[in-house]
Chain A
Amino acid sequence: MTILGLQGVRGGVGTTSLTAALGWALQQLGETVLVVDASRDNLLRHFFNVDFSHEQGWARAMLEKGSWRACAWRYTHDLDLLPFGQLTQAQLQRWPETEHSLIEFAAALQMLKASGRYRWILLDLPAEHTLLTRSLISVTDNVLSIATPDANCHIRLHQQALPEGADVLVNGRALNSQLQDDIYQLWLQTQRNLLPIVIHRDEAVAEALAIKQPPGEYRADALASEEIITLANWCILHYGEEALHEGR
């Protein structure tokens, strides 16, 4: 039972796509998975064919004193989804107050973990370090900090704190980019917590959202889908329950 947070070093590095894709890949490998949207953007659900007009989710349910459990969806036998929920303008405008009401969700995640119902809970975390993000990160077992090897992320890795123990995963690596090649080679040599796996930029991932499916379901043969299967295997080996017992 592992709670794995995925958080972009900044917005736009493909964290939500990666969460959807990794959830799919893990269940392909026989794992039970719950993917949880922890972002106000409420976008993760669209990879799992939830209607745009369906506004329910755990955050909205908690704010309206409803049952967050009733907001989950079963996508496959081994893959469930918990959307964030579409907040109203009023709820968003009162964000500090709203956020305060949501931090108890961290406890709910711990409870879910203790139930042993899922081998994996994947959290799609927003890039900003709000109180809510920090409280959810505090109950994770591992965090993947997602970075694209571009100038923007390169600067951020020199000035921006990451969760303790976070591993850095390269996503969206472009082919035929001198700058990305240079930055990636530099990271290989200088970043101590870089994962030995790279996910390349792939049109199939962009198309998956438009098709409303996880990337690996939409195009299992795409380069990024194959790389994400490798990532899922790596996660099982290094973050999975057995890895914890062996002290990896």
Chain B
Amino acid sequence: MDSKQKVYRWIDEHQQDVVKLLQELLQAPSVNPYFDEEECYKKELRAQSVLRRHLDDMGMKTEFQYPDAEKLKEYEGKPGYYADHEFVDRPNLVGILPGEGGGRSILLSGHIDVVQRGSKWLHDPFGGTVEDGKIYGRGAVDMKGGIGAMTMAVKAIQGAGLKLKGDVKIGTVVDEEAGGMGTLALMAAGNRADACIITEPTDLQIAPLCRGILWGKIVIEGRAGHIELKQGDWRDGGAVDAIEKGLLYIRAIKNLNQDWAITKNHKYMTLPCAVNLAEFHAGEYPTTFANHAEIVFDAQYLPREKDENGLGSKVKKELEDFVAAVAQTDDWLKENPPHIEWLIDADCGETLDDQPFFRQAVESARQVHPESGIEGIGFHTDMGWFCNVGIPTMNIGPGNPRLAHHSDEFVTVNDMMTCTKMIASILMDWCEVAE
């Protein structure tokens, strides 16, 4: 039996351990403290400690590293930097398993924090219940499933009695769900490798890129006035219906999206970038014309559109110009131009397909799971900083991303098993098995 078969067999024989590690992680609630949740569930430290114990048992040299806004000050204005984020009891965990020498190193990374429970759960969100081959819990998909799989992949290679030439590093971060300062700190602390896998849920697809995400709010001013009465010219104080002006933007954005559908594609993305409207708020009372409208949108950008800071300012500018241009088509808006209030700029990254790691990851993963396609991630992951410092990075992980942040989030045991094997396969090919 070749070495890979040994490793896969070990994994098959240790399915319970794969499930159990994930259960342990799910049972250590690690809700990001910037979410609205009960304090007792905001224990990133606890989950990191659970994982650290496992890594220690595997013989990894581990360490907690705490992000610190003061020390990261030089990154102000760059992705992931939040001057006001605090990290008491919120450590990044770094573990190193030195190789036998002569091989390429790899970093396996993921975020330990999860979003708030939310409502409508039929299962205990922190129970790790297994039912019909599904493991339920907040973070099962996003992304303790991935962290469990990557950890078990390393353990399986050890369990099969094999050693790798290259170093294997595990870095799990805090604060991804509220901005990404954990990963910024991880990179700023100098943790490096020749390649990186982020085990975000890709449904076992191989994702060489993620998209940047902009959240913004178009703020449109109208002018109140009695809706049942005759309104004069707005130049003489007449009412201006902000809903009507908002519709002007909805139409214009549809048109813009038609252009983006052609111009903002990527060969590894199944859908183009778009300005998607998520919220519309206007008006206060049935007898009054809305004097104010707010349209909240989510727009995506491609890694190739990043600015010199690694962020989406070019696309922001493009959208600001667009909002201003639409205003030029309307007399009222010309004199009362709407503006965009920016809410979020989550960065992105890409590993090009001419990179050796890209090709190796695809080949090794497909040995285990031939159905794995190459498909970028529509949402944000923390891969931006890894790419920024020059580490070829791929996202591969178990779980359907549509279930992330939802009630009754679950990952299947089968996907956990397959993913563990896929990652083990990549590790063995990239870092090479020592004789």
A and B pair up: no
A interface residues, Cβ below 8 angstroms from B:
none
B interface residues, Cβ below 8 angstroms from A:
none
